[in-house]
Structure 1
Amino acid sequence: MKLWDYDAFILDLDGTLIDSGKYHAQAFSDAVLAHSGYSLKPDEHHEFFGKHSTWYAETLNERYGLSLDPAKVLEYKRGRVQEIFRAELFSGAREFLELWHRKKPMALATNSPFSFVKPALEEADVLKFFDCITTGSDVVNRKPDPEIIEVTAQKLRVDPLKTLVFEDQLIGIEAARAAGARVVAVDNNQPVNYPVDVAVHTWRELLKLSEMQ
């Protein structure tokens, strides 16, 4: 993969750049337990990754006959995330951003709300690397819809066809492809079966590829 061949990079946040998925999953589990008494199984924690809280609350209602109010679950979950979250960059991610800073336009495109994203980027001290940020608060349709990628490309004034998107979940890969962008799956040891035609690399591997070019 020749990274110089692309005009811009668009990165996902949760599970791609920062190790936040575990906090979101735990906060959702706490919300479900508080509102229904049901304790999520370990595999259901993994099932939450890449999903939206309201959708998953409704799914659990159907699966187990619970009476969760999705809006209340989401509110509780967001408050709980604020209590337990720590912004931890995956190994090699900072070095990758530092290497490409000012060499390529870089943007963030995430389903998470701006109220979570900005503090997370500030805590991780990476806000300075991004030319623009698009969050779930900025679009009508979240990933896997391509809107968030298309809007971000417009902000960067680049053609999605000449943009490389970094994602960790299938919904992000689907969104990038639907927008016409090339996508690389970032391998952060998550239980995801990536499409066979998608390149999969750790940040350390992507850093080595960058240094070779």
Structure 2
Amino acid sequence: MVESIAATSLLGHRPICGGNLTRDVSVKRKSLNTVRFPTTEFLGGGRIVVSLALPKSDKQDRFVFSSIKALAVELTREAHAYREEKLPNRDTKIDRGFDQRPDSWPPANRADKPSLRNPLLRHERMGCGWLGAIFEWEGVLIEDNPDLEKQAWLALSQEEGKPSPPAFILKRIEGMKNEQAISEVLCWSRDPAQLRRMANRKEEIYQSLQGGIYRFLSGSKEFVSVLMHYKIPMALVSTRPRKALESAIGEIGIEDTFSVIVAAEDVHRGKPDPEMFVYAAQLLNFIPERVIVFGNSNLTVEAAHEARMKCVAVASKHPVYELGAADLVVRRLDELSVVDLKNLADIEMTEFGSVEPEMELEVEKDYGSSSVDDNFW
């Protein structure tokens, strides 16, 4: 009632609180120690300001102290609840896709799992188990004859009654799937059944020309043996059909070498699309930055870098100076060591993170005080 009187007074004064303002948490109301209300009374032509004060008592002091304590406890609980909501969830899985933003590097890897209670297993994975290797088949592990591929395409064009593809077209379709090359580059057909039939026929012609003879490229067998000794997971990718690829692997005796084999049936597109390499890295359970691709062409380098992988180019088909875009260029795989692979797979580098450039401070040059001859003027 006093508050309403003060609010509707002629001078429009609000209540002036002269004490500690507290809030009772239990009943949600305000309590005041001392409240003074300026009231105005008119006597003749003058006015008198009267202040009313509520006296303090020990009981009120104890009530105020308990209210402050309850408010502090409530604020403390809210602060702890806010902190618990902001804590990250340790069970959250990290996206291993190649389009992950670089501001979260280095991402977690299976070698960094804190759930590994066995120290020997953790030590083994921290040794070489945190990086993976993806190999191409022809021109990297085995000898490749690019003329056989061209002859197979020319023979298929004659059988189908199509014009013979020129040399620049044959160079353009290198590394592509047969269906992709026939439909997108050669433009012979768009029918899925016809594409499948011509792709299978082209592979039959190639296998007949090749004769089923496979030879290791110089240094490749020794290098693969070193990776197997250090238990580095390996994958094999190729645009050849799986049946022909598994038959060739069994022919040279490396059936148990590769943990993952990605063939033409597993992907939709070949190089320079990075689909083969990304899928192989997912099957190996590695992030792309911890995977090294071994190829022999600039198409492989382009696909690997687009997938955020490192690439080692083997100069078996092209000269060394044409493969300068690769991270490393070698003539033989046995020129590499495990230390080289660790340095390549190390993602503690500026290209995988947003590192702010250092500011260069300009040093003021002291040219000295130029003396002017008095006779000059």
1:196 aligns with 2:325: yes
Stretch moving more, 18-27 or 148-157: 18-27
Q: 1:101 aligns to what SS in structure 2?
A: helix
Q: CA deviation at 1:155?
A: 1.8
TM-score, with structure 2 as normaliser: 0.47
Select the residue among 115, 128, 133 that pairs with 2:256. Answer: 128
Change (3 A) 1:88 1:27: farther
Matched residues, number: 202
Select the structure of larger CA radius of gyration.
2
Alignment-derived partner of residue 287 in structure 2: 159
1:180 aligns with 2:308: yes
Residue type of the alignment partner of 1:87: Y
Higher relative contact order (CA 8 A, sep 6+): 1
State the Cα RMSD in Å: 3.1
Q: CA deviation at 1:11?
A: 0.6
Residue type of the alignment partner of 2:157: V
Q: CA deviation at 1:164?
A: 0.9
TM-score, with structure 1 as normaliser: 0.77
Alignment-derived partner of residue 152 in structure 2: 27
Identity rate, percent: 25
For structure 1, list consecutive stretches of 5 or more residues without a partner in the other structure: 63-68
1:75 aligns with 2:200: yes
Where do 1:1-213 residues align within 5 Å?
7-22=131-146, 23-36=148-161, 46=171, 48-57=173-182, 59-60=185-186, 71-85=196-210, 86-103=213-230, 104-190=232-318, 193-196=322-325, 198-203=327-332, 206-210=333-337
Stretch moving more, 158-167 or 36-45: 36-45
Change (3 A) 1:121 1:175: same
Q: CA deviation at 1:183?
A: 0.6
For structure 2, list consecutive stretches of 5 or more residues without a partner in the other structure: 1-127, 189-193, 341-377
Would you say the 8 A contact 1:32–1:38 is kept in 2? yes
Larger helix proportion of the pair: 1
Would you say the 8 A contact 1:32–1:73 is kept in 2? no
Residue type of the alignment partner of 1:34: E
Listed one character per residue, the Cα deviations across residues 91-125 of structure 1 (whole Å, up to 9, x for unaligned) are 11111111221411111122222122111111122
